[in-house]
Amino acid sequence: MTRIDASTSLPAADFRAAADVRAEAADKRRKEKLDAAKQAVEALKAARIDTAAVQKEMARRKLEQIKEQIRLLKQTASMDPRGAAREIARLSRELASAVKAYASAGGSSAEVGPAPAAEASASSEAPTQDAAAGETSPATEAEPAAEEVPTAAARAAELYRQIQNAPEAQARERAREQREAEASDAADFIKQARALTKALKEILQKVAEAAKSKGPEGEKDVEHAEKALAEVGREIAFAESAMPAVLPTGLAA
């Protein structure tokens, strides 16, 4: 049997072509895997954002419910001081829970970072070379001044870079707008929570003495209300510290 020498049976060009095909197939598989991973990450981000939005909306609705109950409590507090103190404690606990839920929902996770160094280098070097080649004048034309060539190439490279980075810049702008919207929403939520806390404190101040006059049980009712109000204050302070990326500073009560 005649043995076929693989090294001489095919031209070198065919080996290179086969290697190129394999490399192209490998690159395609890597790209498909990368695209699938990106899609999975985007799906997770969307799910997280939807869950956070629902959680924040529920917290806002809870604040509205508490606001209405405080309005009714103001009208009846003097009739039953001890009952009013107990109601203040209950509403304070619900308010603290709503603030905690809002804070745990967090802010936006959409962050757009700079392009990887390798990609940035490639996108900036490639156009520079092309632009420099494009600026080379034919032999029949006058050669441009030596200092004009790098200037023209730099302009072409910058234009190319801007075109390449346009989608990324748009994504950064959308992320910035989303963070600003979250900051406004968070500031409004904290403002409302502080206002409700203040209203509960004012009611307690009006009924505390009358409730305490009912004896030790009345004193306990007032004490429980004070502790619940203090817990609201702690939750609000924690909410502010837990949302530094979206909540402006200086939101004093």
Q: For every one of its 253 residues, what pLDDT tens digit does the chain have, with 9 covering 90 and above?
A: 555 454 455 566 666 766 777 777 777 777 777 777 766 666 665 555 578 889 999 999 999 999 999 999 999 999 999 999 999 999 999 999 999 999 998 754 443 333 334 344 444 444 444 444 444 444 444 454 444 445 666 766 676 676 767 777 777 777 777 778 788 889 999 999 999 999 999 999 999 999 999 999 999 999 999 999 999 999 999 998 876 554 544 444 4
In a domain, 16, yes or no: yes
Residue 182 neighbours by CB distance under 10 Å: 20
Domain count, the chain: 1
What pLDDT does residue 110 have?
Answer: 41
In a domain, 7, yes or no: no
CB 180 within 8 A of CB 108: no
Residue 145 neighbours by CB distance under 10 Å: 8
pLDDT digits (tens, 9 = 90+) for 74-84: 999 999 999 99
In a domain, 252, yes or no: no
pLDDT digits (tens, 9 = 90+) for 129-185: 444 444 444 444 445 444 444 566 676 667 667 676 777 777 777 777 777 878 888
What pLDDT does residue 215 have?
Answer: 94
In a domain, 114, yes or no: no
In a domain, 5, yes or no: no
What pLDDT does residue 221 have?
Answer: 97
What pLDDT does residue 113 have?
Answer: 38
What pLDDT does residue 12 have?
Answer: 66
| Residue keyed to tokens 């200086």 | 250
What pLDDT does residue 26 have?
Answer: 76
In a domain, 2, yes or no: no
**Global pTM?**
0.57
What pLDDT does residue 48 have?
Answer: 56
Cα–Cα distance list, 188 to 42, 166, 184, 240 (Å): 29, 33, 6, 12
CB-hemisphere CA count at 13 Å for 97? 10
In a domain, 250, yes or no: no
In a domain, 111, yes or no: no
What pLDDT does residue 29 have?
Answer: 79
What pLDDT does residue 124 have?
Answer: 43
What pLDDT does residue 173 have?
Answer: 77
Print the domain residue range for 156: 12-105+120-135+146-242
